[in-house]
A and B are shown apart, each in its own frame.
Chain A
Amino acid sequence: MSTSAEIPTLLIADDEEAPRAQLCMAVRAVWPQARIVAECVNGADAWDAYLEHEPAVCFLDIRMPGLSGIDVASRIGAQAQVIFVTAHGDHALEAFDAGAVDYLLKPVEEERLRRAVARVQERWTRVTPMPDAEAPALQALLAQLRDQTRRPPALQVIQAAVGKEVRLIPVAEVIYFESDARYTRVVYGTDGLPSGGEALIRTPLKELLTQLDPALFWQVHRSVIVNHRHIASAVRVDEGLMHLVLRGRHEKLPVSRHFQGLFRGQ
């Protein structure tokens, strides 16, 4: 989390072009000191951009493809301040009102935006981004809303072109996915079987993420998603660095700061 001396960084996500552009302009007018570091066109994009830039404040549209604004917010947790953006008539509004969650209604009114920004700035000057008592309540509310959103069925099989053949890889056999320039590297194999291997697919990792079962596949880094059954241990190297050791494999996978809370010991 940044401190008050730094320039506040903002992320703005809306799947429709006009409201996104409108919000960007309004935010620039109301909060000229802040810098918009990412304008995202869907939820998967927003989550990826969050991991890349770690902005202090995220304006999230609720209905977005990939991940909904609610999904993204619950992944961000208490690491950044979230302001939801939606239109009148959204079923989440009642819950937001009850839970005192910040939100803006489209079309965004400058006065209302000014108030929301003032609240954000007020919290910004505190040491902790959110009082500890508030954070779990918000997470519970988001979890409840998340259950109501419809999501596409989980991916079962990955089709990867290797030379002239197309390999069908059952998702359950994947050990990990890793972003590799313009591709995603799929490392797969069943325990002890030589049938495993690697393949490159064109689907970006951030899109793949939305189709994977989060109970099985854990994102541990902006560019790594791992099947948690293959994790042997997590090793802390220094204050900011952590590695995952996989069962029966030599490579180590990085765990970025945001995800280190997954491995805390009990």
Chain B
Amino acid sequence: MSSRPLSQGNWLQRRYARWAQPLYERMAPELRQEVERYDRWLYSRQGLWFWAGLLLTVVASVAGLMLWVRMSAVEALVLALVFWGSVLLTLTSAWLTPDQFVWSGRMNWGKWTKGALAGVLGMLVGLLVSRAVSGDLGQLLDGQRLLNTFWRGLPWMIGALAVMGLITGAVAHLSRWRLQIQVRSLRLAAERDAASRDAAEARLKLLQAQIRPHFIFNTLSAVQHWVDQADPRGAPLLRSLTAFLRGSTDMMGRDAVPLAHEMTMVGHYLDIMKARLGDRLHCVVGPPAAHFHDLMLPPGLVLTLVENAIEHGVEPLLRGGGVEVRLQESSEALCIDVLDEGPGLPDPLREGVGLSNTRARLAQALGPQARLELCNRPSPDQGCWARIVTPLPGSAPSSTHSISHLNAHPVSS
């Protein structure tokens, strides 16, 4: 099927396009697209076969009418053209606008009345024309003969109408079925698009969080000042920032990193924050977990908790506070604890993007047995306690690993 618009085609195509343009403009966009597609086909080389077929049908009908019904040539031609023209028109309309032809459960009396009137009128005009052509006008006014003709023709007309109605209905239903399939596949495609867009957006958010612009520019601000001032704190801070950035570039795009690598990153991060916050931050990182060095974790898992502890547990305090990171290993699980001395969890707790992200990645990487718990530290200590429980493969960590049994008010499990 040619895809070139008719308005850029040969002489005939251009003429047709010019004629059809105002009609196109009145159509709904989808319908118009479809109609233009058919028109392009009809006025292309392949379309010639259609016209040839139509011509053959009309010629055969005329011949048949003349031979068997003994009509005059003109009568037969008019009848054949009107008949095939209306059949073609009806079927095309049924195909293009099936909703108009499918029973909608509601009777449209106006439409039906108009249709019936047009039918009767058409019949009368047809008779008139055929009689006029065959020079029989005098007989036309003979009411009795007209009535006789009408009664003779009536069963044929009803039969023809019924057959036509059935065919039209079938075509309309077929077309509707085809449209529904199209709609369904479009909807599926749209849903697929939306899903992949969501996934891309989530990835982008994760990347943005991993880049941490606020943290980096704040750190650079300190580096810049101390370098300008030849302050001895400048060089080690720059070194820690470089190590941190190198480490996070390595982590980016990876699904899992060894625990040792993650803890190195936490170390760099804490070094940077200690340099920036000075006396306001004191932190303790417990001894490494010897048996879990190579445990693979989603990158940034512990780091996110440490960042949260500093952002919500240290920075809001006028005099600063502490952060503690502990690793506790047993035969069946590893617990990673991050504790702060801040105001504790807000009530009610609204989990931010970071936390729900962490949870999702934890479950994805280590299975549903791995979990992240958050609660306030039991008094008299103040602050928030975050624990990641990662089971060893093949073991289900018992509830003794849960911090909730140590605490009366677990917020989440």
Q: Are B316 and A65 in contact (CB under 8 A)?
A: yes
Q: Are B318 and A22 in contact (CB under 8 A)?
A: no
User: Closest B-chain residue to A14, C-beta based?
Assistant: B221
**Which residues in B have their C-beta under 8 angstroms from that of A88?**
213-214, 217
Q: Are A150 and B312 in contact (CB under 8 A)?
A: yes
Q: What is the minimal beta-carbon distance from B212 to any residue of chain A, in angstroms? A: 7
User: Closest B-chain residue to A149, C-beta based?
Assistant: B316
A15 vs B310: C-alpha distance when bound (angstroms):
14
Q: What is the minimal beta-carbon distance from A168 to any residue of chain B, in angstroms? A: 16
**Which residues in B have their C-beta under 8 angstroms from that of A153?**
343, 346-347
**Which residues in B have their C-beta under 8 angstroms from that of A19?**
218, 221-222, 225
The interface bits of chain A over 4-34 (1 if a CB of B lies within 8 angstroms of the residue's CB, else 0) are 0000000000011111011001000000000
Any B CB within 8 A of the CB of A169:
no
Q: Are A66 and B318 in contact (CB under 8 A)?
A: yes
Of B225, B226, B228, the most chain A CB neighbours within 10 A belong to B225
Of B217, B224, B280, B346, the most chain A CB neighbours within 10 A belong to B217
Q: Are A65 and B315 in contact (CB under 8 A)?
A: yes
The interface bits of chain B over 333-364 (1 if a CB of A lies within 8 angstroms of the residue's CB, else 0) are 00000000001001100000000000000000
Any A CB within 8 A of the CB of B277:
yes
**Which residues in A have their C-beta under 8 angstroms from that of B278?**
17
**Which residues in A have their C-beta under 8 angstroms from that of B220?**
106-107
Q: Are B226 and A18 in contact (CB under 8 A)?
A: yes
Q: Are B221 and A107 in contact (CB under 8 A)?
A: yes
Q: What is the minimal beta-carbon distance from A127 to any residue of chain B, in angstroms? A: 36
**Which residues in A have their C-beta under 8 angstroms from that of B226?**
18
Any A CB within 8 A of the CB of B276:
yes
Q: What is the minimal beta-carbon distance from A109 to any residue of chain B, in angstroms? A: 10
Any A CB within 8 A of the CB of B199:
no
A167 vs B214: C-alpha distance when bound (angstroms):
43
Q: Are A207 and B318 in contact (CB under 8 A)?
A: yes
Any B CB within 8 A of the CB of A227:
no
Q: Are B221 and A108 in contact (CB under 8 A)?
A: yes
Q: What is the minimal beta-carbon distance from B278 to any residue of chain A, in angstroms? A: 6
User: Closest B-chain residue to A17, C-beta based?
Assistant: B278
Tell me if A's interface is mostly helix, strand, loop or mixed.
loop
Any B CB within 8 A of the CB of A132:
no
Any A CB within 8 A of the CB of B317:
yes
User: Closest A-chain residue to B234, C-beta based?
Assistant: A18
Q: Are A87 and B213 in contact (CB under 8 A)?
A: yes
Q: Which A residues between 79 and 96 are near B, CB-CB below 8 angstroms?
A: 86-90
Tell me if B's interface is mostly helix, strand, loop or mixed.
helix
**Which residues in A have their C-beta under 8 angstroms from that of B224?**
22, 107
**Which residues in A have their C-beta under 8 angstroms from that of B225?**
18-19, 21-22, 25, 107
Q: Are A89 and B214 in contact (CB under 8 A)?
A: yes
**Which residues in B have their C-beta under 8 angstroms from that of A107?**
217, 220-221, 224-225
A86 vs B218: C-alpha distance when bound (angstroms):
8
Q: What is the minimal beta-carbon distance from B239 to any residue of chain A, in angstroms? A: 16
Q: Are A18 and B222 in contact (CB under 8 A)?
A: yes
A15 vs B217: C-alpha distance when bound (angstroms):
15
Contact of A63 among B212, B280, B315, B318 (CB under 8 A): B315
Any B CB within 8 A of the CB of A184:
no
Q: Are A105 and B222 in contact (CB under 8 A)?
A: no
User: Closest A-chain residue to B347, C-beta based?
Assistant: A153
**Which residues in A have their C-beta under 8 angstroms from that of B317?**
65
User: Closest A-chain residue to B209, C-beta based?
Assistant: A89
Any B CB within 8 A of the CB of A194:
no
**Which residues in A have their C-beta under 8 angstroms from that of B212?**
89
Any B CB within 8 A of the CB of A42:
yes
Q: What is the minimal beta-carbon distance from A25 to any residue of chain B, in angstroms? A: 8
A15 vs B54: C-alpha distance when bound (angstroms):
88
Given the known interface contacts A18-B226, A22-B224, the answer about A106 and B217 at a Cβ–Cβ threshold of 8 Å is: yes
**Which residues in B have their C-beta under 8 angstroms from that of A210?**
318
The interface bits of chain B over 191-231 (1 if a CB of A lies within 8 angstroms of the residue's CB, else 0) are 00000000000000000000011110110111011101100
Q: Are A152 and B316 in contact (CB under 8 A)?
A: yes
A106 vs B221: C-alpha distance when bound (angstroms):
6
Contact of A87 among B221, B315, B318, B346 (CB under 8 A): B221
User: Closest B-chain residue to A108, C-beta based?
Assistant: B221
**Which residues in A have their C-beta under 8 angstroms from that of B222?**
16, 18-19
Q: Are B214 and A16 in contact (CB under 8 A)?
A: no
**Which residues in B have their C-beta under 8 angstroms from that of A65?**
315-318
Any B CB within 8 A of the CB of A242:
no
Q: Are B315 and A22 in contact (CB under 8 A)?
A: no
A22 vs B217: C-alpha distance when bound (angstroms):
14
User: Closest B-chain residue to A85, C-beta based?
Assistant: B221
**Which residues in A have their C-beta under 8 angstroms from that of B347?**
153
A90 vs B225: C-alpha distance when bound (angstroms):
21
User: Closest B-chain residue to A91, C-beta based?
Assistant: B214
The interface bits of chain A over 44-69 (1 if a CB of B lies within 8 angstroms of the residue's CB, else 0) are 10000000000000000001011000
A18 vs B275: C-alpha distance when bound (angstroms):
10
A107 vs B226: C-alpha distance when bound (angstroms):
12
**Which residues in A have their C-beta under 8 angstroms from that of B229?**
21
**Which residues in B have their C-beta under 8 angstroms from that of A17?**
278
Q: Which A residues between 116 and 158 are near B, CB-CB below 8 angstroms?
A: 150-153
A21 vs B276: C-alpha distance when bound (angstroms):
12
Q: Are A16 and B318 in contact (CB under 8 A)?
A: no
A134 vs B280: C-alpha distance when bound (angstroms):
38
**Which residues in A have their C-beta under 8 angstroms from that of B315?**
15, 63, 65
30 pairs of residues in contact across A and B, judged by CB atoms under 8 Å: A16-B221, A16-B277, A18-B225, A18-B226, A18-B276, A19-B222, A19-B225, A21-B229, A22-B221, A22-B224, A65-B316, A65-B317, A87-B213, A87-B217, A87-B218, A87-B221, A88-B214, A88-B217, A89-B217, A105-B217, A106-B217, A106-B218, A107-B220, A107-B221, A107-B225, A150-B312, A150-B316, A151-B316, A152-B316, A207-B318
Closest 8 CB pairs of A and B: A89-B213, A18-B222, A89-B214, A22-B225, A87-B217, A107-B221, A106-B221, A152-B343
| A residues whose Cβ falls under 8 Å from a Cβ of B | 15-19, 21-22, 25, 42, 44, 63, 65-66, 86-90, 105-108, 150-153, 207, 210
